[in-house]
Amino acid sequence: MSNPPASGSGPQDTPSDDFSAAKQIYEMLKSISGDRQARVLRWVGEGLGIAPAQASATAVNPLTTPADPVAAAIPVVISDKHPSLQEFCEQKKPDNDIQFSVVVAYWYKYKAQPASRRDTIDKATIENAFREANRPIPKNPIFTLNNAKKNGYFESRAKGEFAIINFGENLVTMTLGAGGSQVDESPQKKRRAKAKRPRKAK
């Protein structure tokens, strides 16, 4: 195999964490065809001496959809252990009801016992989750779920049902927990903050 063409200069910015590095690769490759994506990733892997990841050890990548070829090349390993909901919430330490609802949705999708797993949560599910985690139940749980959707963590499925999406999964895996920051920056918050920045005088 011929080596890929070398660039005249190295990367300008070194990613601060693994997720940022993966996202940078994803943004560079998402606009090209699947065949070219696979070829570029194969070259990178060979150049770094990285063996191809085994499919059995991977899960859906939070950056991409399951059908995206990049997802198979940037695996996210999900533990086979099944912590209780209360144990998982204690590990992730959500700051508020919205973050708690995202943690609950993630737990049901990936961490619950296989027979109990589900892709969506609803009002009854979140109420039971608050009880199980010994947290006060909000006056209007469906309002909490809708707010999580507005913040970009969920999408609506059937009436009254919500499914965690990529940004919500990233919040749980990359931000919340003993090893992460508790900063909650949803896409909507980032857009609002950017809109409030004063324009520079010419």
Distances in whole angstroms, Cα of residue 78 to Cα of each of 13, 82, 113 = 29, 11, 13
Pairing of strands 120-121, 154-156: unpaired
pLDDT at 105: 97
| Third-level CATH fold of 85-178 | Arc Repressor Mutant, subunit A (1.10.10)
DSSP 75: -
DSSP 122: -
- Each residue of 85-98: pLDDT tens digit? 999 999 999 999 99
Which pTM was predicted?
Answer: 0.53
162: β partners: 121, 156
Would you list the domain boundaries of the chain? 18-73, 85-178
Q: Which residue has the higher pLDDT, 57 or 149?
A: 149
